[in-house]
Amino acid sequence: MSLKSMLTGVAALSLLSGAAIAQDREVRVYNWSDYIDESILEDFTKETGIEVVYDVFDSNEVLETKLLAGGTGYDIVVPTGTFLARQIQAGVFAELDKSKLPNLSNMWTDIEERVQKYDPGNAYSINYMWGTTGIGYNVEKVKAALGEDAPVDSWDLFFKPENMEKLKDCGVHVLDAPTEMFPAALKYLGLDPDSKDPADIEKAGDLLKTIRPYVQKFHSSEYINALANGDICLAIGWSGDVLQARDRAAEANNGVTVEYSIPKEGALMWFDQMAIPADAPHSDEAHEFLNYIMRPDVMAKASNYVYYANGNKASQELLNEDVIGDPAIYPSEEAVKNLYTVTSYPPKVNRIVTRTWTSVKSGQ
Amino acid sequence: MDEPVPVKRTLGGWTLIAVPYVWLLIFFLAPFLIVFKISLSQIAVAIPPYIPTFDLASGWQAFIENLGELSVENYLWLTEDDLYWKSYISSVVIAGISTFLTLLIGYPIAYGMARSPQSLRPTLLMLVILPFWTSFLIRVYAWIGILKNEGLLNQLLLAIGVIDEPLVILNTNIAVYIGIVYSYLPFLVLPLYASLERLDGSLLEAAEDLGCPPWLAFWKITLPLSLPGVIAGCFLVFIPAVGEFVIPDLLGGSDTLMIGKTLWTEFFNNRDWPVSSAVAVILLMILVIPIVLFQNQQQKIAEKEA
């Protein structure tokens, strides 16, 4: 082969690959585990021709560490509000180009207003799902251990050592998320769940230490399967995850009944927000994806699958009755008054929180 | 003993020597210096989450200013909180016990392999290496299925009537020992097998001829001669086990304290790169010092023999 024909060949090849790149439009999404109906991704690709590369995580901490290292290569990430606020401050995200998001008109202004606490002006993010952190339990096993009138609608079930002692043998899992567990403990103690005072954090830590001996594991995703299989009888977890466990158990028909309850003392209300990193390689495709997600039928499909409430007003009428009609997912107005939100910890307090959490978990 | 032929100090010789050093420089020293530098920095809400970051574009003046911002504060923090020392000590203890257990199981395996018929050895060797063909992570996950309360082991023991209540093994230190011993067994068996196989059989025959019972011959001849293999194998198990993260995280309980997990918490939950870098630097010191001492010792022995 002569040099000239070789060069022509190389040139032709590079042209070809250039064309291929133009065709292979893709969007890389990094979302929570068990958090989407995968057919939504397939439909999106069919409609737009944009390939979706989909990865999952199970803790805000892991997501934030990746984002702060920079260059993640992801186009869309889904942090919780408290974490989002700090990440915006660190300059992680690009402002949304709202001209590319006509479906923003479908969003629910009530939810948008609540999210302003984390994302002022809703400049960087859209709401994907919101929910609560409460009690997931195995009905038969908890009743067997504590009798018919077990306090399943109260934090007493979890924070009273005499109850936990009886539940220990059937297995208790707790979210490995200090930002969710400290506010719950503070609320139970009658203190401000959003307190940043180290003395309060210590009190919450002491309370958690009293029930620590009865906890089998601190983990933020294993409890879905563990509850569904009947391996554990109590989990402090996220609403939709527990409801997914409920459905898996019902499908398996294995004699396990899982229920979720929002404790009457109050529970944490959180918002998972979709945002675009400042260094996202496919910003246009990311906007297209967000706009697609905000379509009422798509959002309804997502909620019907994951059993979480969403922040899309127009999708509400398309939701299945077992979603929109379930007070565990869409709490009554009365119950919403009992829900609280929290803000992120400043770095110095964060260190105390994490250290206290480590000492709760390890007994050290 | 053959003396190693010294490499001639020619251009070719220098190149040959330079290769491993350049390798170490790029893949060990440079990353270490970066970690060391981060360990002297301060935590910040930014990308990356610490200051100062050295930007070579801003010139020497800025570089020197940045140097002044570095401090040993993070190392002082490590001494203030006993969590870190407890983690280091607990890691060394867990790794030590695991290494000992691995040796107890690995020695008979290596010995049996070395004494088996020549034709069988390649197959046995293959069987030791075979697990590496499956991902390490998946093999550790498989242990969850075996050890959990409703797992295979408990079902088997319940079925044959050895126990009435399922044993709680998963999420305890026992599960961590099982995981480490299982995962690192080949690293001990392979060097040990190599040194046992090279053992001169005529020495044992001579001992037998002179009326030495087999167990004494093992104690006086086989064991001392296999010692280099034992030591090499134990180091190959001990060193990675000290810094192990995956096994204690998946199989261990919340009270399993190991430095790998503490480091992970520091890095991911606190987003505190400076302190976690300081933890890593100290871990390296803890591991490097005994290795250097051991090497010096070995060199002295070699010199005495020569």
Comparing A23-27, B144-148, B202-206, the range with the smallest average pLDDT is A23-27
Mean pLDDT computed over A26-42: 95
Residue B139 near residue B183 (C-beta atoms within 8 A) = yes
User: Which uninterrupted H or E stretch holds A129?
Assistant: strand A125-138
Amino acid residing at B25: L
Locate A323 and state its tokens: 């979603």
What is the CATH class of B82-305?
Answer: mainly alpha
Contact B271 A69 (CB under 8 A): no
The answer to whether residues A286 and A191 belong to one domain is no
pLDDT attached to residue B17: 85
Is A2 within 8 Å of chain B by CB?
A: no
The answer to whether residues A265 and A349 belong to one domain is yes
- Measured between CA atoms, the residue of chain A closest to residue B43 is A347
pLDDT higher than 80, residue B59: no
Is A69 within 8 Å of chain B by CB?
A: yes
pLDDT attached to residue B9: 65
Confidence band of B58 (pLDDT split at 50, 70, 90): low
DSSP character for B194?
A: H
Q: How far is A254 from chain B (nearest CA, A)?
A: 14
The answer to whether residues A287 and A302 belong to one domain is yes
pLDDT attached to residue B33: 92
How many domains does one find in chain A?
2
The answer to whether residues A175 and A254 belong to one domain is yes
In-domain check, residue A145: yes
Chains A, B: CB contacts within 8 A come to 70
Please tell me which of the candidates A65, A91, A171 has its beta carbon nearest to residue B271: A65
Q: Which residues of A touch B49 (CB under 8 A)?
A: 68, 90
One DSSP character per residue, A8-52 reads HHHHHHHHHHHHHHHH--EEEEEEETT-S-HHHHHHHHHHH--EE
Burial of A364 (0-12, 13-18, 19+ CB in 10 A): middle
pLDDT in tens, B265-286: 888 877 888 989 999 999 888 8
Contact B81 A350 (CB under 8 A): no
The answer to whether residues A323 and A218 belong to one domain is no
Q: Which residues of B touch A218 (CB under 8 A)?
A: 254
Cα A302 off chain centre by: 13
- Measured between CA atoms, the residue of chain A closest to residue B266 is A354
The answer to whether residues A164 and A204 belong to one domain is yes
**How many CB atoms lie under 10 A from the CB of residue A51?**
16
Establish whether the linkage from the previous residue to A296 is cis, with ω within 30° of 0.
Answer: no
The range of the structural domain enclosing residue A165 comes to 132-269+341-362
Cα A343 off chain centre by: 16
The answer to whether residues A211 and A153 belong to one domain is yes
pLDDT higher than 90, residue A118: yes
Q: How far is A67 from chain B (nearest CA, A)?
A: 8
In-domain check, residue A150: yes
* CATH number of the structural domain spanning residue A159: 3.40.190.10
Q: Which residues of B touch A352 (CB under 8 A)?
A: none
The answer to whether residues A167 and A47 belong to one domain is no
Locate A187 and state its tokens: 């609320």
Is A58 within 8 Å of chain B by CB?
A: no
pLDDT higher than 50, residue A18: no
Q: Which residues of A touch B171 (CB under 8 A)?
A: 216-217
The answer to whether residues A139 and A150 belong to one domain is yes
Cα–Cα distance list, B198 to B115, B190, B298 (Å): 11, 13, 20
- Measured between CA atoms, the residue of chain B closest to residue A353 is B270
One DSSP character per residue, A311-332 reads SBGGGGGGS-HHHHT-TTTS--
In-domain check, residue A207: yes
In-domain check, residue A43: yes
The answer to whether residues A155 and A262 belong to one domain is yes
Confidence band of B261 (pLDDT split at 50, 70, 90): confident
Alpha carbon distance A262, A77 (integer Å): 27
Mean pLDDT computed over A281-300: 96
pTM of the predicted protein model? 0.79
Alpha carbon distance A84, A104 (integer Å): 19
In-domain check, residue A12: no
pLDDT higher than 70, residue A212: yes
H helix runs in B44-119, sequence order:
59-69, 73-80, 82-115
The answer to whether residues A290 and A305 belong to one domain is yes
Contact A364 B86 (CB under 8 A): yes
Locate A237 and state its tokens: 């977890």
**How many CB atoms lie under 10 A from the CB of residue A363?**
13
Locate B114 and state its tokens: 């070395």
Domain regions of chain B by residue span: 82-305
Q: Tell me if ipTM is over 0.85.
A: no
Please tell me which of the candidates A92, A217, A351 has its beta carbon nearest to residue B272: A351
Q: Which residues of B touch A229 (CB under 8 A)?
A: 150
Q: Which residue has the higher pLDDT, A347 or A98?
A: A98
Locate B152 and state its tokens: 């295979």
In-domain check, residue A117: yes
Mean pLDDT computed over A86-92: 93
pLDDT attached to residue A20: 45
- Residue to mutate among A93, A229, A351, A356, with most B CBs inside 10 A, is A351
Evaluated on CA atoms B132, B134, B140, B142, the torsion sign reads negative
The answer to whether residues A152 and A252 belong to one domain is yes
